[in-house]
Amino acid sequence: MEFSKIHGLGNDFILVDDRQEKLDDYPQLARDICHRHFGVGADGLILVLPSQVADFKMRIFNSDGSEAEMCGNGIRCFAKFVYERGMTTKTRITVETLAGVMVPQCQVENGRVTMVTVDMGEPRLAAKNIPLVEGGDDPVIDQPLEAAGQIFRITTVSMGNPHCIIPVDDVEGIRLEDVGPQIEKHSLFPKKTNVEFVQFLSPTRAKVRVWERGAGITLACGTGACATAVAGYLLGKTKRRLTVSLPGGDLTIEWADNNHLYMTGPATEVFRGLYLDRRV
C-alpha cells in the first residue's frame, strides 16, 4: 500500500488513495499504521475516496481507530496530497466529510502546495449541537465545569466536531496529560470532546495547547484553532481575525461576516513509502 506522510504544524497523518475501495477495516489499519514504534507513526490515517457530492471524500481515523468528523490540519494535508499526486489540477477543491462539504484553496509555487486556506463553514453553538448531555438551543459560554478536582470555565463550540475551550492565565502550567483525558471523557460530552487550553495574549493572538479526542496531545489542531477564535470573540477577548499559536506553529483564523471560519496554514510532506500490511 503506497502512502504519503504529511503534517500540518506537526499534526501528522498517513494519507492513502483508496478510491478503488481496495482496503478494509480502516480502524484496525489506523491503529497499526499510526503506531509510532511498530508502524509508520502518525496522529491519524486519512483516506481519499470517491464522492457523489464533491470532488473527493475524506475519511479520517485517529490513532486509536476512532473516526473523526473533520480535521482542520488533516484537510490541508489532504488538499496537498490530491494536488501534488495529480488527482486534480484544480487549486480550489470541494471535499466531502462527515461534518459537511469543505472547500480548501491551495497556494501553489513551482508545482508545490505551500499554504492552504480552508472554508471551514459555520460554527455550531447550540448545546445540543456540540453535543452536550440534555443540551438545548442555548450556547455554553463561560460556564463552570468540574473535572480532575478543579473548576474550569468552559465555552463549547462545534466545527463539525466538539470542542471545549478553557481560558487560562498560563497555558504552559497546565498538566495536559492529566486533565485532558478527564475532560475529553467527561459525562457532559456523550461523544467525548477535544480540549483546548487557551492563553489570550492580545486581541489578535492566542496561545493554545490541545488534547485531541482519540489522539491525545498533538502539536496542532485546525478545528480547535477555529473554535478558539469563535470562543475568544464570544468572550470579548479577541477580534474576528486571530493568530493562533500552537506548539507546532501558527494558524491564521478569520471569522468572516458570512459567519464562515477561514483557516490558513501550511502542509508539509515528510516522505512517501510502501506499507506492508502485517495481517496478510
- Rounded CA-CA distance 263/160 in Å is 14
Contact criterion met (CB below 8 Å) for 67 and 27: yes
Side-chain half-sphere CA neighbours of 37 within 13 A: 0
Which residue is catalytic, options 34, 71, 164, 226?
Answer: 71
Instruction: Find where cell 463561560 sits.
Output: 142
Tell me if residue 71 is catalytic. yes
Cell of 226: 477555529
Contact criterion met (CB below 8 Å) for 200 and 232: yes
Which residue is catalytic, options 34, 77, 106, 221?
Answer: 221
Cell of 10: 506537526
Angle, helix 222-234 to helix 72-84, in steps of 10 degrees? 140
Long-range CB contact pairs, 150-156, < 8 A, 24+: 150/179, 152/183, 155/231, 155/234, 155/235, 156/125, 156/127, 156/130, 156/132, 156/193
Angle at the Cα of 67 (from 43 to 72), degrees rounded to 5?
Answer: 60
- Rounded CA-CA distance 148/257 in Å is 38
Active site positions, annotated: 71, 221
